[in-house]
């Protein structure tokens, strides 16, 4: 996978639809940051479900 993009939360609010489409259609993961500190990651739902079903 290529480098994961990081987006400021304030910018993500303006572009949430675009970020969701990138996750869904392109499989892109996006780090959401506040004050340049990573806080969360937007991931494709399919990837999330696969991770939940992985054996430990």
pTM (predicted TM-score): 0.87
Write out the DSSP string of 2-51: -PPPEEEHHHHHHTHHHHHHHHHHH---EEEEETTEEEEEE--HHHHHHH
Residue 1 has pLDDT above 90, yes or no: no
Ordered domains of the chain (ranges, CATH): 6-52 (3.40.1620.10)
Instruction: With cut-offs at 50, 70 and 90, classify the pLDDT of residue 2.
Output: low
The pLDDT value given to residue 29? 98
What are 3-52's pLDDT values in tens digits? 899 999 999 999 999 999 999 999 999 999 999 999 999 999 999 999 99
Higher pLDDT, 12 or 2: 12
């Amino acid at each position: 996978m290529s480098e994961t993009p990081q987006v400021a939360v304030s910018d993500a609010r303006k572009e949430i639809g675009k970020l969701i489409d990138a996750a869904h259609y392109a499989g892109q993961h996006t780090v959401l940051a506040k004050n340049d500190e990573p806080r969360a990651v937007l991931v494709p739902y399919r990837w999330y479900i696969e991770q939940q079903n992985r054996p430990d």
